Amino acid sequence: GQGMFTYDPGFVSTAACESKITYIDGGKGVLLHGGYPIEQLANESDFLETCWLLWNGELPTAAEKEAFVEKITMHTMVHDQMASFFKGFRRDAHPMAILCGVVGALSAFYHDSLDITNEKHRNISAIRLIAKMPTLAAMAYKFSVGQPFVYPRNDLNYSENFLNMMFSTPCEDYQISPTLAKAMDKIFILHADHEQNASTSTVRLAGSTGTNPFAAIAAGISALWGPSHGGANEAVLDMLNEIGDESRIDEFVAKAKDKNDPFRLMGFGHRVYKNFDPRAKVMKQTADEVLGELGLDNDPLLKIAKRLEQIALEDEYFVEKKLYPNVDFYSGIILKAMGIPTSMFTVIFALGRTPGWIAHWNEMIADNSRIGRPRQLYTGPTQRDFTPLDKR
């Protein structure tokens, strides 16, 4: 049977909630979903199996998996009227700005999945979100490059479908590389959930008011966008490009150590992990595989990244502060090698995190959690009388 984790009383008092979905041991660099280590899920499972695990707490049987994949496939198209929504944005709109808008707007299209007290509604809204996020994300990309939207295809698996919607054009079929599709699937798995991170806590707090799932997920997307959170993968590439050459690494490492300099090494450090982020290890292997397959192992940015990682693991400042590479450090390098623009990196993170967001949202609703209401320590002035304008 499954053992139970025990916590010291001090920690229990700081916990925001109870959850069965994901366990993290930041000191040991352990990440479990339903008890399964992330390394095993990334290397032996696939993204839709992991979605099922996060929602149900168990890996699916073959029959359950087949039915689930079929259901997701049947919901990958979005209402065609959504296309005109996209056309309201400027062409240079950040894809995350578009995603915030269109995901929230799903609540205006799917009235039969808004009653959160109805388990059937909760299930269909989860299916719709997992199925439609890749379609909406690819539409945001196609809109930004002025190419026509590509419809999902039922003969492709989840990650192949996303790559096809991203890169296929009416002029020629996109040749899907099984290695890239597998790498994309692994990246989705590695981002699938991470217990009470900022965006998941946002979804839980928004959802605790009884708002519909699409609005709650749109709130999570907004929180994820920040460079300290999901926006870090885009910030890593910007940082590597700014460093530009291995000869400038020491200059930036010195900036990162300088308390008066706001510069931080993007892709390093974590609120919880004070050891190697287990996801970063798998991401690093995937980066080597993908760049090897694409003949990019001498990519200058990858060489700068590997040198930075080596410094972070050896330099006393980073060792003492336990600043290890996190999930965002290598993901951007893989995505760039796959031809995905940096503006889409956080969108990819949002696609991967969608099943985690909705699993936590569903767990909170099913537990009949009360509305979230964080308390505060008030540090403002004590009560005083109003001062009329002519006395100020």
Query: Does 99 interact with ligand SDX (rule: CB under 6 A)?
Result: no
Please pick, among 185, 193, 277, 328, the residue that the annotation labels catalytic: 328
Among residues 264, 303, 306, 307, which is the contact residue for ligand SDX, using CB under 6 A?
Answer: 264
Among residues 256, 290, 301, 359, which is the contact residue for ligand SDX, using CB under 6 A?
Answer: 256
- Record the tokens describing residue 326, joined without a space: 């996190």
Q: Is-catalytic flag, 270?
A: yes
Cβ 162 to ligand SDX shortest distance, Å: 20
Catalogue the long-range contacts made by 23-32 (C-beta closer than 8 Å, 24 or more residues apart): 23/195, 24/194, 24/195, 24/272, 24/273, 26/270, 26/272, 26/273, 26/274, 26/275, 27/274, 27/275, 28/275, 29/273, 29/275, 29/276, 29/277, 29/278, 29/324, 30/278, 31/194, 31/277, 31/278, 31/279
Compute φ and ψ for 292, nearest 5 degrees. Answer: -65, -45
Query: Does 229 interact with ligand SDX (rule: CB under 6 A)?
Result: yes
Give the nearer residue to ligand SDX in terms of CB position, either 69 or 265: 265
Give the nearer residue to ligand SDX in terms of CB position, either 115 or 261: 261
Give the whole-angstrom CA distance, residue 154 versus residue 65. 16
| Closest residue to ligand SDX: CB criterion | 269
Three-class SS of residue 23? strand
Q: Which stretch binds ligand SDX (CB under 6 A): 50-58, 141-149, 158-166, 269-277?
A: 269-277
Phi-psi region of 175 (alpha: psi -120 to 50; beta: other; left: phi over 0): beta
Q: Is-catalytic flag, 33?
A: no
Cβ 226 to ligand SDX shortest distance, Å: 8
Query: Does 328 interact with ligand SDX (rule: CB under 6 A)?
Result: yes
Cβ 381 to ligand SDX shortest distance, Å: 29
Query: Does 104 interact with ligand SDX (rule: CB under 6 A)?
Result: no
Cβ 327 to ligand SDX shortest distance, Å: 5
Give the nearer residue to ligand SDX in terms of CB position, either 75 or 306: 306
DSSP letter, residue 35: T
- Identity of residue 14: T
Using only C-alpha atoms, what is the Rg of the chain? 22
Query: Does 265 interact with ligand SDX (rule: CB under 6 A)?
Result: yes
Half-sphere exposure (Cβ direction) of 81: Cα atoms closer than 13 Å: 5
Interaxial angle between packed helices 178-190 and 345-366, expressed in degrees from 0 to 180 and rounded to the nearest 10:
50
Q: If binding means CB under 6 A, how many residues of this protein chain bind ligand SDX?
A: 20
Give the nearer residue to ligand SDX in terms of CB position, either 160 or 195: 195
Among residues 271, 313, 319, 366, which is the contact residue for ligand SDX, using CB under 6 A?
Answer: 271
For the window 293-322, what string marks contact with ligand SDX as x by the rule CB under 6 A?
----------------------------x-
DSSP letter, residue 325: B
Give the whole-angstrom CA distance, residue 108 versus residue 218. 13
Compute φ and ψ for 169, nearest 5 degrees. Answer: -135, 160
Among residues 183, 239, 253, 323, which is the contact residue for ligand SDX, using CB under 6 A?
Answer: 323
Query: Does 128 interact with ligand SDX (rule: CB under 6 A)?
Result: no
Which residues of this chain interact with ligand SDX, rule CB under 6 A? 194, 197, 228-229, 232, 256, 264-272, 321, 323, 326-328
Residues tagged active-site: 270, 328
